């Protein structure tokens, strides 16, 4: 199977965490440090959130379940800013950071074939680039949709598609884009935005939990032979 060889595919949107790479918990540590610094509370993000949530969703949940109140929009923005302050250090320190198998071969191979590459991620834009930088992956992506565009992943995907059209000189149709993600939220978001989705079982979910995707595969090596 070579998904990228399907007729008409001209752009591929990649999720980050669990799809392109894992940070080894660096994001959770950065959130923990941020809430400790700002509010003196121990925030175990993994205890309160699920894979595939956007950063705006995460910060809202942590306020409600750890701080004990909703938190104003200004407070949530400040918490995200403090998280971003800590994230470069936690990513650099992480012993569990790794780029997923096959990704470093796949991305340049897709570009060689003339496929546009974008991001579709729940990370706010700055956090996305911090996470990608350690693996030297930023250089492959010319556009994206981010958690800073919307807390809703379908709207994040729609933002990525708008930017894909801009980058392509308005020659790209939505049906020529596909997305790749490792969670059911990625699948729901892609379908909600009207595109086909590859579910890849490199994160928290097995292949049989990703069968709502148009393709459900064990790894990118299975579906995108470089």
pLDDT at 98 over 70: yes
| CATH 3.40.50.1000 residue window(s) in the chain | 3-23+98-223
- CA atoms of 20 and 201, how far apart (whole Å): 12
For the 26-93 domain, the top CATH level (class) is mainly alpha
Backbone angles phi, psi at 117, to 5 degrees: -115, 130
- CA atoms of 40 and 29, how far apart (whole Å): 14
Backbone angles phi, psi at 201, to 5 degrees: -90, 50
CATH code for residues 3-23+98-223 = 3.40.50.1000
pLDDT in tens, 7-21: 889 999 999 999 999
Residue 96 pLDDT class (50, 70, 90 cuts):
very high
pLDDT in tens, 140-180: 999 999 999 999 999 999 999 999 999 999 888 778 999 99
- Could you give the angle at the alpha carbon of 124 between the alpha carbons of 118 and 129, nearest 5°? 55
- CA atoms of 148 and 125, how far apart (whole Å): 6
pTM score, whole prediction: 0.94
How far lies 211's CA from each of 103, 142, 180, 187, in Å? 22, 29, 13, 9
């Amino acid at each position: 199977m070579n998904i990228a060889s399907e007729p008409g595919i001209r752009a591929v949107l990649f999720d980050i965490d669990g799809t392109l790479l894992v940070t080894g918990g660096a994001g959770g540590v950065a959130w923990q440090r941020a809430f400790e610094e700002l509010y003196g509370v121990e925030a175990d993000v993994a205890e309160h959130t699920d894979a595939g949530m956007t950063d705006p969703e995460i910060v809202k949940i942590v306020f409600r379940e750890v701080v004990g109140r909703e938190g104003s929009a200004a407070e949530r923005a400040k918490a995200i800013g403090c998280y971003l302050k800590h994230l470069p250090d936690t990513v650099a320190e992480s012993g569990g950071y790794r780029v997923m198998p096959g990704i470093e071969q796949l991305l340049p191979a897709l570009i060689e074939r003339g496929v546009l590459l974008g991001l579709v991620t729940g990370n706010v834009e700055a956090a996305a680039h911090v996470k990608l930088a350690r693996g030297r992956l930023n250089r492959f992506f010319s556009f994206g949709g981010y958690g800073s565009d919307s807390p809703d992943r379908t709207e994040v995907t729609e933002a990525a598609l708008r930017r894909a059209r801009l980058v392509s000189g308005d020659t790209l149709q939505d049906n020529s884009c596909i997305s790749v993600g490792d969670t059911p939220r990625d699948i729901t978001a892609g379908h909600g935005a009207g595109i086909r989705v590859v579910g890849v079982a490199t994160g928290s979910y097995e292949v049989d939990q990703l069968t709502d995707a148009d393709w459900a595969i064990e790894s990118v090596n299975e579906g995108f032979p470089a």
